């Protein structure tokens, strides 16, 4: 054969995790989950359009203090995660582990704030009361479930980091977990806009 | 006249035939690849197998069992309707039968059977050894099976779903349907939506990242464009159903308010959510059928498909347009005129890309030498019946006509011409076409032609009169009718036709059972076809390809555009390529079977019953096991896999 015969390397010359199957599958998962939230949010606006007042009479416009803190904790957690992921790109597993712990702590803070927010809301209204209450609770608690799944994924990744599974060349699992966590943060921004910001403009 | 560059395999020079033999099998006496890829011979490995060929066939067979159940339901309904004021069924039984007939055919037969073909042929068509996520495939099959079993378990307590396959509120609300009927529907479909979604992701990644080196997007077989389009449509459409079912179940059993007008809800919200999903779903169960036709027609016209790029674009365009027409199911609900106009126009637009596909098939036949083998007969009947169904679809897109025909047998005739006369005939074409590949044996052509003509006659005799019954004003979903309204003859004809149609399908079933053992040996490429699956053995070896094929053309087996690549026999390896050009990136290691896929689906099945009886403890325990099994499933089990993690 000539010197220009094609070669078929069995290990990737470029180990970018964005080329892995798992990363592509996670992009698909995010797309379908984003659609799920999009339909719930659309349902909210549809019910809004069908009613004279949204939130209905007797329910105050939602306050912004706790949601602002929740937003800050999620955004900060994503930033910490990016910092940690940069570490593993330079083979610094310790920095990644630190980043994951920081992210998990901020996620736990989000959950605490969420629980406190729910305690207040449940005093004010319960799902059975109105369509507004129902769509509010189902969308926010579905998002909270996604935060919990995200925390499980990050905790799982932390376990694997501690077992020495990852390096600069092998970090697909980290990238996939990171992608999911950023996605959960983006969804929160949509939920925040729908249930906390939009009522201020209607 | 076929273009000069198309050679049939018979005319290939000997060295090319030797090349194909190298692709199909390991050299005699070698078991290196077979040892890696064969499913071990024990019952647990058999249950959890990740072999896409075994799972594809299981999908198809399971879907056909559901077809038989849905068919029996249809047969009983037709007997009830054979004459006016018949007392074979009570109205309640009739409600359950038409609901389960629609639900079964839409969710448990047609989509799974098309997926089954995709799971079977996609890796073979792209020159790969497996799907991208073999264990996900195992999970999605078992979850689909159990979702079907769950929904059918409702018959055991006499409370099968009974509010129609689109399950409108407020009929499906707890005030009017207090039994467990609708809960079986909602919870079963939630499990099925998980199975369908992960299956689609598997196909998307396989089609985009595992095509043999050289199979750039413009050389992709057209059926892959259909799979890709429908899988993407599933990603964006399925969540609308998931959301609707979630809200419905929360309203029915957990005191939420979404659809009841009392608390500010809206019954039309269900209709919007359902049809935002439902109309794309119609294309999800129709486009793969067109893709199959685009494989069968060139083979039996002995020439490449005409205008393949346009057909690929039309496929994508139809899938996209499917998201913009859902309100045409709701013209009679009193929505604003401007939406009615918009969606009426949108619905007519859909006929343009469909027309492109039909004319491309006709042109392929015009320029080719048509061979009327059984798969081609079914393909031709598809075109005729689909055009009829498409025309009645355009008729109902015209709003005044729709108001007249809405909820009458005209719509029943329309949906059956598109889905039974269309998609189901394409499934039969595909079955006759790929059966030799799957089993190594030919189906009998004589029985095949008998089956075809009986089905074709029965189908049109059974379903064409329904147009007339509808125009005469016979409403759908009503268990009987009065004599003397001019409906007696058309209904009797429909009943006779449907029974003849069923007899035709039974001939094919008999053909398969018989040919499985006694059919003529097929050889690797019985149809002298153009695409890569015919370069493997029949049935394919566990590793599909002994050497990785390198592709240089769109019809590689016709113009010699395939050469022999590396063996990749160090573990369960298959190539990973770039999404557009399909240039080689690396080899990836794919996992073996794992019992956690089975455990996960069984636990989800248990969780469905937990949700049905609203036992929080069962649900909580199931959730915990789900988390643990997913964790165990994903944990890297061998150093080698970890290092080449894909």
Q: DSSP letters of B581-639?
A: T--EEEEEE-----HHHHHHHHHHHHHHHHHHTT-HHHHHHHHHHHHHHHHHHHS--SH
By C-alpha distance, which of A67, A175, A174, A151 is closest to A102? A151
Reported as a single tens digit per residue, the pLDDT across B208-264 is 999 999 999 999 999 999 999 999 999 999 999 999 999 999 999 999 999 998 888
Measured between alpha carbons, how far is B272 from B350 in angstroms, rounded to an integer?
A: 19
Output the CA–CA distances (angstroms, integers) from residue B410 to A29, B71, B414, B465, B480, in the order listed. Answer: 39, 20, 6, 9, 17
Beta-bridge partner residues of B573:
B589
Beta carbons of A170 and B627 less than 8 Å apart: no
Answer whether residue B642 shows pLDDT above 50.
no
What band does A13 get if pLDDT is binned at 50, 70 and 90? Answer: low
Distance from CA of A11 to the nearest CA of B (A): 5
Quote the pLDDT of residue B637: 63
Sort A150 into a burial class: Cβ within 10 Å, 0-12 / 13-18 / 19+.
buried
Tokens 């849905």 belong to B70
Reported as a single tens digit per residue, the pLDDT across B75-98 is 999 999 999 999 999 999 999 999
Rounded to 5 degrees, φ, ψ at B546 are -70, -35
Q: Read off the DSSP letter of residue A164.
A: T
Q: With a CB-CB cutoff of 8 Å, which residues 172-191 of chain A face chain B?
A: 172-173
Distance from CA of B5 to the nearest CA of A (A): 26
Q: Are B169 and B245 in contact (CB under 8 A)?
A: no
**Considering CB atoms only, which of B247, B265, B550 is closest to A138?**
B247
Dihedral sign computed on CA atoms, order B477, B483, B484, B489: positive
Query: For the residues B459-478, what does the mean pLDDT come to?
Result: 96
Count how many residues are written for chain B. Answer: 646
Answer whether residue A9 shows pLDDT above 70.
yes
Output the CA–CA distances (angstroms, integers) from residue B568 to B25, B377, B583, in the order listed. Answer: 14, 40, 16
Q: Are B499 and B489 in contact (CB under 8 A)?
A: no
Beta carbons of B257 and A130 less than 8 Å apart: yes
β pairing state of B584-589 and B562-564: unpaired
Helix (H, G, I), strand (E, B) or coil at B575: strand
Measured between alpha carbons, how far is B556 from B554 in angstroms, rounded to an integer?
A: 6
For residue B574, the surrounding DSSP H or E stretch is: strand B573-577
What band does B10 get if pLDDT is binned at 50, 70 and 90? Answer: low
Reported as a single tens digit per residue, the pLDDT across B105-125 is 999 999 999 999 999 999 999
Which parts of B104-133 fold into alpha helices (H)?
111-126
Reported as a single tens digit per residue, the pLDDT across A35-90 is 999 999 999 999 999 888 889 988 988 999 999 999 999 999 999 999 999 999 99
Answer whether residue B646 shows pLDDT above 50.
no
Reported as a single tens digit per residue, the pLDDT across A83-128 is 999 999 999 999 999 999 999 999 999 999 999 999 999 999 999 9
Quote the pLDDT of residue A52: 85
What band does B16 get if pLDDT is binned at 50, 70 and 90? Answer: confident
Determine contact: A56 vs chain B, CB below 8 A.
yes
Answer whether residue B5 shows pLDDT above 50.
no
Answer whether residue B2 shows pLDDT above 50.
no
Query: For the residues B497-518, what does the mean pLDDT come to?
Result: 96
Q: Are A195 and A45 in contact (CB under 8 A)?
A: no
Measured between alpha carbons, how far is A157 from A164 in angstroms, rounded to an integer?
A: 11
Determine contact: A164 vs chain B, CB below 8 A.
no
Measured between alpha carbons, how far is B11 from A6 in angstroms, rounded to an integer?
A: 28
Count the alpha carbons within 13 Å of A89 in the hemisphere toward its beta carbon: 10
Reported as a single tens digit per residue, the pLDDT across B172-182 is 999 999 999 99
ipTM of the complex: 0.95
Answer whether residue B14 shows pLDDT above 90.
no
Quote the pLDDT of residue B586: 92
Sort B496 into a burial class: Cβ within 10 Å, 0-12 / 13-18 / 19+.
middle
For B56, residues 6+ apart whose C-beta sits below 8 A from its C-beta are B116, B117, B118, B119, B120, B121
Q: Read off the DSSP letter of residue B173.
A: S
Output the CA–CA distances (angstroms, integers) from residue B490 to B363, B469, B500, B559, in the order listed. Answer: 36, 6, 15, 52
Tokens 């047998």 belong to B409
Answer whether residue B504 shows pLDDT above 80.
yes
Answer whether residue B290 shows pLDDT above 70.
yes
Our CA dihedral for B208, B212, B218, B224, rounded to 10 degrees, sits at -60
Sort A77 into a burial class: Cβ within 10 Å, 0-12 / 13-18 / 19+.
buried
Determine contact: A47 vs chain B, CB below 8 A.
yes
Beta-bridge partner residues of B589:
B573
Measured between alpha carbons, how far is B410 from B402 in angstroms, rounded to an integer?
A: 10
Q: Is the peptide bond before B170 cis (omega within 30 degrees of 0)?
A: yes
For A98, residues 6+ apart whose C-beta sits below 8 A from its C-beta are A84, A87
For A153, residues 6+ apart whose C-beta sits below 8 A from its C-beta are A177, A180, A181
What band does B11 get if pLDDT is binned at 50, 70 and 90? Answer: low
By C-alpha distance, which of B425, B443, B216, B212 is closest to B309? B216
Quote the pLDDT of residue B110: 96
What mean pLDDT value characterizes chain B? 93
Q: With a CB-CB cutoff of 8 Å, which residues 22-41 of chain A face chain B?
A: 22, 24-25, 28-29, 31-33, 35-36, 38-40
Helix (H, G, I), strand (E, B) or coil at B441: strand
Distance from CA of B587 to the nearest CA of A (A): 5
Q: Read off the DSSP letter of residue B30.
A: -
Determine contact: A16 vs chain B, CB below 8 A.
no
Answer whether residue B201 shows pLDDT above 80.
yes
**Cβ neighbours of B586 (radius 10 Å):** 20
β pairing state of B562-564 and B573-577: unpaired
Measured between alpha carbons, how far is B15 from A182 in angstroms, rounded to an integer?
A: 54
What band does B12 get if pLDDT is binned at 50, 70 and 90? Answer: low
Which parts of A125-201 fold into alpha helices (H)?
131-162, 172-192, 198-201
Measured between alpha carbons, how far is B176 from A71 in angstroms, rounded to an integer?
A: 42
Tokens read off for A138: 């189902």
Q: Read off the DSSP letter of residue B10.
A: G
Determine contact: A19 vs chain B, CB below 8 A.
yes
Distance from CA of B120 to the nearest CA of A (A): 19
**Considering CB atoms only, which of B200, B576, B642 is closest to A170?**
B642
Query: For the residues A141-153, what does the mean pLDDT come to?
Result: 97
Quote the pLDDT of residue B342: 86
Beta carbons of A8 and B568 less than 8 Å apart: yes
Q: Read off the DSSP letter of residue B338.
A: H
Beta-bridge partner residues of B549:
B564
Reported as a single tens digit per residue, the pLDDT across B401-448 is 999 999 999 999 999 999 999 999 999 999 999 999 999 999 999 999
**Cβ neighbours of A194 (radius 10 Å):** 21
Rounded percentage of chain A residues whose pLDDT exceeds 70: 96
Beta carbons of B645 and A20 less than 8 Å apart: yes
Answer whether residue B502 shows pLDDT above 80.
yes
Query: For the residues B526-537, what does the mean pLDDT come to?
Result: 94
Quote the pLDDT of residue B638: 55
Quote the pLDDT of residue A4: 55
Answer whether residue B3 shows pLDDT above 70.
no
What band does B345 get if pLDDT is binned at 50, 70 and 90? Answer: confident
Count the alpha carbons within 13 Å of B89 in the hemisphere toward its beta carbon: 25
Using the CB atoms, write b or e for B389-424: b if 16+ within 10 Å. bbebbeebbebeebebbbebbbbbbbbbbbbbbbbb
3-state class percentages of chain A: helix first, strand second, coil last, to nearest 5: 75, 0, 25
Query: For the residues B298-307, what does the mean pLDDT come to?
Result: 95
């Amino acid at each position: 054969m000539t010197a220009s015969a094609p070669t078929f390397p069995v290990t990737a010359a470029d180990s970018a995790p964005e080329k892995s199957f798992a990363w592509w599958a996670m992009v698909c998962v995010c797309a379908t989950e984003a659609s799920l939230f999009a339909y719930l949010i659309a349902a909210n606006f549809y019910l809004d359009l069908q009613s004279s007042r949204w939130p209905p009479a007797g329910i105050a416009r939602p306050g912004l203090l706790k949601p602002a803190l929740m937003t800050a904790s999620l955004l900060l957690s994503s930033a910490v995660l990016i910092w940690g992921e940069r570490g593993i790109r330079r083979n610094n597993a310790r920095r990644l582990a630190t980043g994951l712990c920081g992210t998990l702590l901020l996620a736990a803070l989000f959950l605490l704030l969420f629980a406190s927010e729910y305690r207040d809301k449940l005093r004010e209204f319960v799902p059975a009361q109105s369509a507004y209450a129902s769509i509010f609770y189902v969308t926010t608690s579905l998002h909270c479930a996604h935060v919990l799944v995200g925390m499980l994924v990050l905790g799982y990744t932390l376990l694997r980091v501690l077992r020495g599974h990852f390096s600069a060349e092998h970090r697909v699992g980290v990238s996939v977990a990171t992608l999911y966590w950023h996605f959960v943060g983006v969804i929160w921004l949509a939920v925040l806009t729908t249930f906390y910001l939009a009522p201020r403009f209607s | 006249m076929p273009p000069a560059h198309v050679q049939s395999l018979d005319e290939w020079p000997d060295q090319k035939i030797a090349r194909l033999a190298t692709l199909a099998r390991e050299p005699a006496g070698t078991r290196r690849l077979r040892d890696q890829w064969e499913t071990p011979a024990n019952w647990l490995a058999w249950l959890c197998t990740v072999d896409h060929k075994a799972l594809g066939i299981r999908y198809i067979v399971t879907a056909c069992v559901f077809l038989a159940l849905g068919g029996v339901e249809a047969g009983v309904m037709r007997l009830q309707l054979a004459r006016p004021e018949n007392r074979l069924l009570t109205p309640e039984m009739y409600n359950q039968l038409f609901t389960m007939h629609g639900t079964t055919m839409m969710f448990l037969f047609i989509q799974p059977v098309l997926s089954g073909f995709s799971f079977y042929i996609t890796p073979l068509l792209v020159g790969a050894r497996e799907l991208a996520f073999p264990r996900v495939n195992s999970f999605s099959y078992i979850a689909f099976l159990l979702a079907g079993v769950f929904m059918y378990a409702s018959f055991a307590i006499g409370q099968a779903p009974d509010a129609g396959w689109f399950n409108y509120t407020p009929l499906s609300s707890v005030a009017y349907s207090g039994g467990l009927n609708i809960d079986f529907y909602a919870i079963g479909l939630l499990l099925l939506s998980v199975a369908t979604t992960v299956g689609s992701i598997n196909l998307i990644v396989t089609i985009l990242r595992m095509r043999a080196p050289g199979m750039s997007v413009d050389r992709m077989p057209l059926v892959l464009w259909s799979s890709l389009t429908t899988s993407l449509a599933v990603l964006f459409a399925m969540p609308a159903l998931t959301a609707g079912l979630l809200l419905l179940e929360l309203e029915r059993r957990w005191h939420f308010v979404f659809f009841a007008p009392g608390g500010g809800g809206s019954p039309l919200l269900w209709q919007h959510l359902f049809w935002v999903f439902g109309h794309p779903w119609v294309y999800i169960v129709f486009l793969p059928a067109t893709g199959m036709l685009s494989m069968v027609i060139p083979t039996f016209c002995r020439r490449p498909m005409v205008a393949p790029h346009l057909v690929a674009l039309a496929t994508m365009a139809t899938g996209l347009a499917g998201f913009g027409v859902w309100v045409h199911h709701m013209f009679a609900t009193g929505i604003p005129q401007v939406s009615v106009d918009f969606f009426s126009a949108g619905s007519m637009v859909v006929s343009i890309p469909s027309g492109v596909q039909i004319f491309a098939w006709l042109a392929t036949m015009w320029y080719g030498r048509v061979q009327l083998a059984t798969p081609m007969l079914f393909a031709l009947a598809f075109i005729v019946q689909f055009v009829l169904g498409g025309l009645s679809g355009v008729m109902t897109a015209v709003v005044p006509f729709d108001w007249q025909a809405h909820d009458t047998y005209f719509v029943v005739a329309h949906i059956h011409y598109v889905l039974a006369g269309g998609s189901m005939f394409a499934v039969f074409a595909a079955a006759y076409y790929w059966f030799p590949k799957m089993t190594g044996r030919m189906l009998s052509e004589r029985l095949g032609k008998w089956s075809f003509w009986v089905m074709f006659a029965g189908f049109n005799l059974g379903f064409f009169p329904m147009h007339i019954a509808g125009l005469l004003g016979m409403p759908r979903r009503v268990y009987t009718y009065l004599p003397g309204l001019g409906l007696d003859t058309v209904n009797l004809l429909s009943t006779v036709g449907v029974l003849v149609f069923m007899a035709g399908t039974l001939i094919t079933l008999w053909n398969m059972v018989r040919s499985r053992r006694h059919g003529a040996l097929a050889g690797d490429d019985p149809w002298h076809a153009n695409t890569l699956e015919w370069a493997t053995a029949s049935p394919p070896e566990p590793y599909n390809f002994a050497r990785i094929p390198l592709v240089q053309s769109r019809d590689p087996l016709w113009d010699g555009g395939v050469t022999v690549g590396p063996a990749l026999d160090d573990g369960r390896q298959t190539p990973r390529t770039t999404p557009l050009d399909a240039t080689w990136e690396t080899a990836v290691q794919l996992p073996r079977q794992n019992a956690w896929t089975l455990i996960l689906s069984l636990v989800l099945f248990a969780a469905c019953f937990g949700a049905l009886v609203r036992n929080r403890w069962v649900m909580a325990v199931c959730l915990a096991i789900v988390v643990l099994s997913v964790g165990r499933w994903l944990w890297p089990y061998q150093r080698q896999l970890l290092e080449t993690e894909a």
